[in-house]
Structure 1
Amino acid sequence: MRRNLEDKGLDLIIYSSLIILAFLTLYPFWNSLAISFNAGADTARGGITFWPREFTFANYEYVFDDERLINGFMITIIRTVLGTLLSISFTAAFGYAMAKRGLIGKKYYMIFCVVTMYFHGGLIPTYLLIRELNMMNTIWVMVIPTMINVWHMIIFRTFFQQLPDGLEESAKIDGCSNAGVFFKIVVPVSGPVIATLSLFTAVFHWNAWFDAVIYITKEDLVPLQTLLTQIINSVMNDTMDQLSNTEQEMLDQLNAVTHKSVVMATMMVATIPIMMVYPFVQKYFVKGVLIGSLKE
């Protein structure tokens, strides 16, 4: 089919809009990356756009000089993996149960769940509860409170309701239990929704930092994001301490590292690892969008 001038003009508008949108989305990240590799004093002059003007690794050296960083990476990885596995497992099982038509009291269970989306118990009652459960200064305090995500449960429930009833009926005829149907039939065909929600959950755990500030006092259990906020705050304190040094020493230090340059470096350290996961899950996003869009 030959394309007329109107079709070509429409394509031009669409592609131009997408290019502008991609630029507006990617430029802030690229600019932050360039600043993180630029000397601090030169960054303060402004004008850094796409490339560092005075290339240096001093900002990253300042960040990685902290011996707690490697331990923080390990704690964050453990929290992300463990938290994602537990959250997806329990939330998917909850969603599967809520998808059953014959579940007694399902309407009331749903009301109780939705209420928790709008009302929170409060920081002080939550802190007292965590303390009474003896979860302070443990890895579980960063995992157990987030094991059930109501919004993800609703997504799981909606997905499970779209599965053909014949799948479960045929499995039960062969003697499969409810648990067997869930793990052997439902879970294998739920790859797209599991992968998508696993990514969202992993990003949440990777970026979380506030709960560790409240519930963690041991330095060997501090996750990466909490540690990086401490590093950023220490840069501000170090800058104030430099006022007692000689003018030349202060100038030499500021030429390499400033508060803004270290902030950008810590941002890259915290962001790039989790961004590397997205390309491996991208195909599930596309497949997940198509699920339920076609009817036989």
Structure 2
Amino acid sequence: MLTSSRRTRGEMIFDIGNTIFMIFICFVTIYPIWYVLVNAFNEGTDAMRGGIYWWPRMFSLESFKAVFQSEGIMQAMWITVAKTIIGTFIHVLFTAMVAYALSRRDLIGGKLYIWIGTITLFFSGGLIPTFLLMKDLQLLDNFMVYIIPAMFSFFDLIIFMTFFREIPDGLEEAARIDGANDWSIFLRVVLPVSMPVVATIGLFHGVYQWNDYFTGMIYMNDTSLQPIQTYLYRVVAESSSNQMLAAVPGGITRSVTSQSIKLATMVVTTMPIVFVYPFLQKYFVKGMMIGSIKG
């Protein structure tokens, strides 16, 4: 009884300590986001006084109105949405096609292709050779620079391939008996039963496309083709934010400051991913478990 009592008491202490620790981690993770939200929804001039930590002192939507009225910001937002949707769709489809082929054990040279692909996980050509390659391919100041280089990822291929190898062979055999070819099997049999891993890779690459600022910074001189993250990066990196204020119709107003527009832009660029993630979370967890533990 004494041992059981001590074990129970120890478990209670562990649970309490673990709960306190997890609450602390959640607070450290969530509060910076909450701080940005609170200050973004506060009146700009008043926010410059500081002291806003938990709730807006003077609630205002003027900064968000300025963001959505700015042609430069909205153009960058449309570029980001377009490259995220198109890039994610093409990446998932193309990577899944290659992974399905490599998952076939009767593929000639399959092990060699996998060995070559594994090398790319550890070595790359570097930034300058990649830039010269993009230049020779005429992808500088071209929207396709967001799509073509990101069409394939060997890391994502491994997850896809592991999942495909867990699909029962009987499904493909039944489809072949019905007269289906490889394309029909892939599109009508394999992909429909692979939604968990498709959602997982789609979420991975969608977040990458949405948050990617580096590609636009290196390969884009045309500001009309820059994504919102690159736009925001350049404004924050500059010593003055007059560029952003100048893009606001009517210029500087009493309730809008460069800092308030920065915060509002951060909220606008972050919230779409935050809202989409809960809907894909169940597929994300299932896809990661199948692609890692079973492999």
For normalisation by structure 2, the TM-score amounts to: 0.82
Is contact 1:56-1:256 (8 Å) kept? no
Match of 2:161 among 157, 161, 184: 157
Deviates more, 1:34-43 or 1:215-224: 34-43
User: Aligned partner of 2:158: which letter?
Assistant: I
- How big is the shift at 1:200? 1.2
- How big is the shift at 1:158? 0.9
Q: Which residue of 2 aligns with 1:271?
A: 270
- How big is the shift at 1:46? 3.7
Q: Partners of 1:113 and 1:47 in 2: how far apart?
A: 53
Match of 1:204 among 208, 228, 232: 208
For normalisation by structure 1, the TM-score amounts to: 0.82
- How big is the shift at 1:10? 5.7
- The one-character-per-residue Cα deviations of 1:14-67 (angstroms, maximum 9, x if unpaired) are 544443333332211111111222345544444322112233334334434421
Alignment of 1:73-152 (within 5 A): 73-152=77-156
CA RMSD of aligned residues (A): 3.0
Deviates more, 1:280-289 or 1:101-110: 280-289
Q: 1:48 to 1:93 in 2, by over 3 A?
A: same
Q: Which residue of 2 aligns with 1:257?
A: 257
Residue aligned with 1:117, SS: coil
Q: Which residue of 1 aligns with 2:53?
A: 49
Q: Which residue of 2 aligns with 1:185?
A: 189
Alignment of 1:220-259 (within 5 A): 220-233=224-237, 236-238=240-242, 256-259=256-259
Q: Which residue of 2 aligns with 1:284?
A: 283
Q: 1:45 to 1:193 in 2, by over 3 A?
A: same
Q: 1:228 to 1:292 in 2, by over 3 A?
A: closer
Residue aligned with 1:145, SS: coil
- How big is the shift at 1:237? 4.8
- How big is the shift at 1:11? 5.1
Is contact 1:72-1:221 (8 Å) kept? yes
User: Aligned partner of 2:277: which letter?
Assistant: Y
- The one-character-per-residue Cα deviations of 1:49-104 (angstroms, maximum 9, x if unpaired) are 21122333343344344212222222111111110011001111111112121222
- The one-character-per-residue Cα deviations of 1:199-237 (angstroms, maximum 9, x if unpaired) are 111111111122122222333322222222234356725
Q: Which residue of 2 aligns with 1:245?
A: none
User: Aligned partner of 1:151: which letter?
Assistant: F
Q: 1:86 to 1:293 in 2, by over 3 A?
A: closer
Is contact 2:197-2:287 (8 Å) kept? yes
Q: Which residue of 1 aligns with 2:4?
A: none
- How big is the shift at 1:175? 2.3
- The one-character-per-residue Cα deviations of 1:164-192 (angstroms, maximum 9, x if unpaired) are 12222222233221222111111111001
Q: Partners of 1:174 and 1:111 in 2: how far apart?
A: 35
- The one-character-per-residue Cα deviations of 1:225-264 (angstroms, maximum 9, x if unpaired) are 222223435672539x9xxxxxxxxxx97874244x3332
Is contact 1:235-1:258 (8 Å) kept? no
Deviates more, 1:205-214 or 1:279-288: 279-288
Match of 2:174 among 170, 174, 181: 170
Q: Partners of 1:41 and 1:68 in 2: how far apart?
A: 23
Residue aligned with 2:149, SS: helix
User: Which structure 1 segments of 5+ residues have no match?
Assistant: 242-251
User: Which structure 2 segments of 5+ residues have no match?
Assistant: 1-7, 246-251
Identity %: 41
Task: Count the aligned residue pairs.
Answer: 281
Q: Partners of 1:85 and 1:183 in 2: how far apart?
A: 14
Q: Partners of 2:225 and 2:209 in 1: how far apart?
A: 14
Q: Partners of 2:121 and 2:254 in 1: how far apart?
A: 46
User: Aligned partner of 1:33: which letter?
Assistant: L
Q: Partners of 1:68 and 1:39 in 2: how far apart?
A: 22
Is contact 2:199-2:287 (8 Å) kept? no
Is contact 2:62-2:255 (8 Å) kept? no
